[in-house]
């Protein structure tokens, strides 16, 4: 018997779903009976994850999605509506972190973080919010980062995008009214492939070393997301910060 806890039969769109936190969230929610609609840039990984969920008795669909393209995000939400007739939850999870000292002037990396981490979330809101308003229900979950809380060198632009998303999330919560729920989830060090997006070898090596010493599994963040989703409709979990016990 599935442990639904308010998740069963919910339709959940997840960006950045092909690995890390997105993949773990897709697996957990599907196991608990949600219909998951998965978006990411890698079609092969998406297809494999969808097949894995189906083989375990779950329900999943996917669409290759680049969150830097508004049309892609709109199409992902559109797939959920077309396939399953509603949208209960959008998890804005896609993110990149090519961090560096500002003196290095890696402007292309700055723009990539703004386009993915900030504009990608806004495109998700733009796609989901009108659907939520028409339905008179819906839940937006933004995966942010503790980088937007504790500021350290090399993370100026990355943390800036995350702080901006935190501000947007809280503003949306206040504007949402009594039918829509809004949650921010801020992970600390998690064992993901986020370091693959890092272009500075020295900084990447430092982060990989720290992750190796203390990082928690993506499933820990997936459980936090599930906790927010599974609450009764009148309960809105606004903010979750989840770090490794060893993280300062």
CA-angle at 131, arms to 125 and 133, nearest 5°: 95
Q: Is pLDDT at 246 greater than 60 in this prediction?
A: yes
Residue-level pLDDT at 245: 94
From the number of C-beta atoms within 10 Å of its C-beta (0-12, 13-18, 19+), residue 12 rates as buried
Q: Do 36 and 46 form a contact (C-beta atoms < 8 A)?
A: no
Q: Check: CB of residue 221 under 8 Å from CB of residue 190.
A: yes
Residues 11-242: name the CATH superfamily.
Answer: NAD(P)-binding Rossmann-like Domain (3.40.50.720)
Give the HSE-up count for residue 36: Cα atoms under 13 Å, Cβ half-sphere. 35
What would the pLDDT profile of 139-154 be if each residue is shown by its tens digit? 999 999 999 898 999 9
Beta bridge partners of 11: 35
How much of the chain exceeds pLDDT 90, in percent?
85
The whole-angstrom separation of Cα 50 and Cα 211 is 28
Domain ranges within the chain, ordered by starting residue? 11-242
Question: Catalytic: 84?
Answer: no
**Predicted model pTM:** 0.93
| pLDDT tens-digit map of 188-226 | 999 887 777 777 778 878 878 877 788 999 999 999 999
């Amino acid at each position: 018997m599935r442990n639904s806890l308010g998740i069963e039969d919910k339709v959940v769109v997840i960006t950045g779903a092909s690995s890390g936190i997105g993949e773990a969230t897709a697996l957990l929610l599907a196991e608990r009976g949600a219909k998951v609609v998965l978006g990411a840039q890698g079609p092969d990984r998406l297809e494999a994850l969808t097949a894995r969920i189906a083989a375990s008795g779950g329900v999943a669909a996917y669409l290759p999605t680049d969150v830097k393209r508004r049309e892609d995000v709109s199409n992902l939400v559109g797939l959920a509506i077309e396939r399953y007739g509603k949208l209960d939850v959008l998890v804005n999870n896609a993110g990149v972190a090519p961090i560096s000292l500002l003196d290095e002037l890696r402007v292309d990396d700055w723009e990539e973080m703004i386009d993915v981490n900030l504009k990608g979330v806004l495109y998700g809101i733009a796609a989901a919010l009108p659907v939520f308003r028409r339905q008179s229900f819906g839940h937006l979950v933004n995966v942010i980062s503790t980088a937007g809380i504790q500021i350290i060198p090399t993370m100026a632009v990355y943390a800036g995008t995350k702080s901006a998303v935190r501000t947007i999330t809280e503003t949306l919560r206040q504007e949402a009214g009594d039918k829509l729920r809004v949650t921010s989830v801020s992970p600390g060090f998690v064992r993901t492939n986020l370091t693959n997006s890092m272009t500075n070898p020295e900084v990447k090596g430092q982060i990989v070393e720290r992750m190796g010493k203390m990082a928690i599994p993506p499933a820990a963040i997936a459980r936090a997301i599930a906790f927010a989703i599974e609450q009764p409709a009148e309960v809105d979990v606004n903010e979750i910060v989840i770090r490794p016990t060893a993280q300062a």
